[in-house]
Amino acid sequence: MYIAAVLEKEGIKAEILDLTPGRSAVVARLRSTATPDPSKALLLVAHMDVVGVEKSKWTVDPFAAVEKDGYLYGRGAIDDKGMLAANLAAFIALKRANPRLNRDVIFLATADEEQFGDASVKILIAKYWDKFAAGFALNEGGEVLLKNGKVQYVAVQASEKVPVNVTVIARGTSGHASMPTKDNAVVHLAAAVAKIGNYSAPVRFTTIVRRYFEQLAAIEDDEMAKWMRSLDTPDRGEHAQRVISDANPLWNSMLRDSIAPTMLTAGVRANVIPGEARAAGGADETGERSADPFRDPAGCGTGGAAVFAGKRIVCHNYKGRGERVFQCAGAAVSVHGGHGFRAIEAARRPGLRFSAVPTERRGFAADAWRR
């Protein structure tokens, strides 16, 4: 409602697209011609919703947008209200400048990106696609990296990893804690979780990840650049992969499938051995996979691989199984390089030197549904 009012004040017609009670999207359009050509249209999209907060861990009110030391503090400041505000400002500036447009420019504010429920972009597309059909879309993702107070590079997200939530279940004999058993589900689950937590999948280069490191090597310091250039070499590759992975958790995630245990559930009383114990984990598959990415790359000797494969994990004396509980649609790759990148570089402020670098994102921003 707020966004629609801001647009209306500028003389831009805003339309509210209802999804579920209390949740809607907002769309507006600057026309280039009387009849729209969706294949040429440019979509500026950002989501309005944010994830929940643990209020006690915040030093400021998370929903008050507090300005402190030159920073804006608040839930969603980065994800994704900053982009939403920038999109809105750019859209309004374009309207005020009133240039002759060679394509329609569409503004879209979406709901339910974080939970991905009944008001998500998937539902929005199914119900209202013709309202914002576009040939090009700029969405969240990527990052601007500052080094010594200067912009080092602008990473433009051109693909993303595919998240897969998994549950690992261990089963054993239940009973009183005064008589320990060899098949205690908690013990076996704990062993499996430790194994999964220590698992490191083999490196897989996607086109985007390869380009990312190639281009980053051109602007990184000599030492890092050397290892980036060696990533896929037969003699120094393995060592380089270790150096790069250890240097930055972001790089580690870009280079491989990854999995992190996140939730544990077992037992009802301290003196009762439960018959079942469960752990959940968030896994991220690297992009550019074929239809079924689930393989067991390292054999069932590694807990993580077995979970990725959705197989029974029996290798480490663990009675139970891994289960995929959620899988996002496979992410396709956007066009990288070309006009889009040159336009972003051309748009930089005078005096700023940086490169636009394609990047593959960890996690996902529901882009797969738009491609």
- Candidates 102, 168, 180; CA nearest to 339 is 102
Pick the closer one to Zn ion by CB: 84 or 240: 84
Pick the closer one to Zn ion by CB: 241 or 334: 334
Give whole-number Cα distances, 200 to 21, 204, 283, 317, 343, in Å. Answer: 44, 12, 12, 20, 38
Q: Is 143 in the site for Zn ion (CB under 5 A)?
A: no
Among 10, 15, 58, 79, binds Zn ion (CB under 5 A): 79
User: Tokens standing for 69?
Assistant: 């030391």
The piece of 77-85, 209-217, 235-243, 335-343 that touches Zn ion (CB under 5 A) is 77-85
The piece of 73-81, 118-126, 141-149, 154-162 that touches Zn ion (CB under 5 A) is 73-81
Q: Do 187 and 296 meet the contact criterion of CB atoms below 8 Å apart?
A: no
Shortest spacing between CB 113 and Zn ion, in angstroms = 5
Q: Is 112 in the site for Zn ion (CB under 5 A)?
A: no
Among 27, 48, 80, 251, binds Zn ion (CB under 5 A): 80
Cα separation of 29 and 104, whole Å? 7
Shortest spacing between CB 224 and Zn ion, in angstroms = 28
The piece of 136-144, 153-161, 201-209, 278-286 that touches Zn ion (CB under 5 A) is 136-144
Cα separation of 107 and 90, whole Å? 10
Number of chain positions touching Zn ion (CB under 5 A) = 3
Q: What is the 3-state secondary structure (H, E, C) of 211-261?
A: HHHHHHHCCCCHHHHHHHHHCCCCCCHHHHHHHHHHHCHHHHHHHECEEEE
The piece of 13-21, 71-79, 86-94, 285-293 that touches Zn ion (CB under 5 A) is 71-79
Q: Do 95 and 84 meet the contact criterion of CB atoms below 8 Å apart?
A: no
The residues that touch Zn ion, with contacts defined as CB under 5 A, are 79-80, 140
